[in-house]
Amino acid sequence: MPKKVSARPDTQVKPSPKLEKRRRRTFKPEDKLRIIEEANACKHGELGALLRREKIYSNQLSDWRREYSSKGIAGLSKTLPGPAPLKSPEQRQIEKLEKQVTKLKADLDVANDCLDIQKKVLSILDRSSNGSMQ
Protein backbone atom coordinates (compact mmCIF):
# COMPACT_ATOMS: atom_id res chain seq x y z
CA MET A 1 0.00 0.00 0.00
CA PRO A 2 1.58 3.36 -1.04
CA LYS A 3 2.15 6.08 1.49
CA LYS A 4 0.02 9.18 1.42
CA VAL A 5 1.68 12.39 0.29
CA SER A 6 2.02 14.64 3.29
CA ALA A 7 1.92 18.39 3.16
CA ARG A 8 5.42 19.70 3.69
CA PRO A 9 5.93 22.86 5.65
CA ASP A 10 7.35 25.86 3.80
CA THR A 11 11.11 25.66 4.40
CA GLN A 12 12.10 28.79 2.48
CA VAL A 13 13.89 31.44 4.48
CA LYS A 14 12.37 34.90 4.19
CA PRO A 15 14.81 37.57 5.37
CA SER A 16 13.55 40.42 7.43
CA PRO A 17 13.84 43.78 5.63
CA LYS A 18 15.07 45.38 8.86
CA LEU A 19 18.06 43.06 8.93
CA GLU A 20 18.92 43.66 5.27
CA LYS A 21 19.55 47.38 5.72
CA ARG A 22 21.87 47.35 8.73
CA ARG A 23 24.42 50.13 8.83
CA ARG A 24 26.64 51.90 11.30
CA ARG A 25 24.88 54.32 13.60
CA THR A 26 26.10 57.88 13.59
CA PHE A 27 25.74 60.46 16.32
CA LYS A 28 25.67 64.19 15.78
CA PRO A 29 28.11 66.24 17.85
CA GLU A 30 25.16 67.79 19.71
CA ASP A 31 23.87 64.34 20.68
CA LYS A 32 27.31 63.27 21.85
CA LEU A 33 27.64 66.42 23.96
CA ARG A 34 24.17 65.87 25.46
CA ILE A 35 25.03 62.28 26.39
CA ILE A 36 28.36 63.38 27.92
CA GLU A 37 26.61 66.02 30.02
CA GLU A 38 23.96 63.52 31.15
CA ALA A 39 26.69 61.01 32.03
CA ASN A 40 28.56 63.62 34.05
CA ALA A 41 25.35 64.41 35.96
CA CYS A 42 24.69 60.72 36.77
CA LYS A 43 25.04 59.53 40.32
CA HIS A 44 26.57 56.23 41.37
CA GLY A 45 24.80 53.37 39.57
CA GLU A 46 22.84 55.49 37.09
CA LEU A 47 25.41 55.45 34.28
CA GLY A 48 24.56 51.89 33.19
CA ALA A 49 20.91 52.81 32.69
CA LEU A 50 21.93 55.82 30.59
CA LEU A 51 24.22 53.67 28.43
CA ARG A 52 21.47 51.07 27.90
CA ARG A 53 18.90 53.75 27.08
CA GLU A 54 21.19 55.38 24.51
CA LYS A 55 22.39 51.95 23.28
CA ILE A 56 26.07 52.83 23.49
CA TYR A 57 29.06 51.20 25.16
CA SER A 58 31.09 52.67 27.97
CA ASN A 59 34.20 52.81 25.77
CA GLN A 60 32.30 55.00 23.27
CA LEU A 61 31.45 57.39 26.08
CA SER A 62 35.05 57.48 27.29
CA ASP A 63 36.27 58.11 23.71
CA TRP A 64 33.79 60.96 23.33
CA ARG A 65 34.87 62.44 26.66
CA ARG A 66 38.52 62.28 25.66
CA GLU A 67 37.81 63.86 22.24
CA TYR A 68 35.71 66.60 23.83
CA SER A 69 38.36 67.42 26.43
CA SER A 70 41.18 67.58 23.87
CA LYS A 71 39.50 69.30 20.89
CA GLY A 72 36.20 70.66 22.19
CA ILE A 73 33.02 70.36 20.14
CA ALA A 74 35.08 69.96 16.94
CA GLY A 75 36.50 66.73 18.35
CA LEU A 76 33.02 65.24 18.51
CA SER A 77 32.38 65.57 14.78
CA LYS A 78 32.21 62.45 12.68
CA THR A 79 35.44 60.48 12.39
CA LEU A 80 36.32 57.55 10.19
CA PRO A 81 36.21 54.13 11.82
CA GLY A 82 39.48 52.44 12.64
CA PRO A 83 42.82 53.82 13.71
CA ALA A 84 44.07 57.08 12.31
CA PRO A 85 46.69 56.70 9.56
CA LEU A 86 50.25 57.11 10.81
CA LYS A 87 51.49 58.74 7.62
CA SER A 88 50.03 61.35 5.31
CA PRO A 89 49.48 60.54 1.63
CA GLU A 90 52.51 62.67 0.76
CA GLN A 91 54.72 60.71 3.16
CA ARG A 92 53.50 57.41 1.69
CA GLN A 93 54.22 58.72 -1.83
CA ILE A 94 57.73 59.80 -0.77
CA GLU A 95 58.43 56.36 0.72
CA LYS A 96 57.16 54.68 -2.46
CA LEU A 97 59.41 56.85 -4.63
CA GLU A 98 62.41 56.25 -2.35
CA LYS A 99 61.90 52.48 -2.66
CA GLN A 100 61.66 52.86 -6.42
CA VAL A 101 64.92 54.88 -6.50
CA THR A 102 66.67 52.21 -4.41
CA LYS A 103 65.49 49.46 -6.76
CA LEU A 104 66.56 51.41 -9.83
CA LYS A 105 70.00 52.05 -8.32
CA ALA A 106 70.39 48.33 -7.66
CA ASP A 107 69.36 47.57 -11.26
CA LEU A 108 71.86 50.15 -12.52
CA ASP A 109 74.65 48.55 -10.45
CA VAL A 110 73.82 45.15 -11.96
CA ALA A 111 73.83 46.61 -15.48
CA ASN A 112 77.19 48.35 -14.86
CA ASP A 113 78.66 45.10 -13.50
CA CYS A 114 77.49 43.28 -16.63
CA LEU A 115 79.15 45.93 -18.81
CA ASP A 116 82.39 45.61 -16.82
CA ILE A 117 82.34 41.83 -17.31
CA GLN A 118 81.72 42.25 -21.05
CA LYS A 119 84.65 44.68 -21.30
CA LYS A 120 86.96 42.27 -19.45
CA VAL A 121 85.89 39.34 -21.63
CA LEU A 122 86.46 41.43 -24.76
CA SER A 123 89.93 42.47 -23.58
CA ILE A 124 90.81 38.83 -22.77
CA LEU A 125 89.62 37.74 -26.20
CA ASP A 126 91.63 40.53 -27.83
CA ARG A 127 94.78 39.46 -25.93
CA SER A 128 94.31 35.82 -26.80
CA SER A 129 93.68 36.55 -30.46
CA ASN A 130 96.67 38.93 -30.64
CA GLY A 131 98.93 36.45 -28.88
CA SER A 132 98.11 33.58 -31.23
CA MET A 133 98.69 35.66 -34.37
CA GLN A 134 102.21 36.66 -33.42
H-run or E-run covering 92:
helix 89-133
Compute the Cα dihedral for 41, 46, 50, 53 and give only its sign.
Answer: negative
The CA-atom distances, in angstroms, between 86 and each of 10, 53, 92, 109 are 54, 35, 10, 33
What separation in angstroms does the CA of 56 have from each of 7, 42, 48, 128, 132? Answer: 47, 16, 10, 86, 92
pLDDT value, residue 58: 94
At 63-86, the pLDDT tens digits run 999 999 998 888 888 766 778 788
pTM: 0.47
Name the percent of the chain lying above pLDDT 90.
57
18 vs 52 pLDDT, higher one: 52
Residue 2 CA to residue 5 CA, distance in Å, equals 9
Q: What's the rounded mean pLDDT across residues 86-93?
A: 92
What pLDDT is stored for residue 97 in this prediction?
A: 97
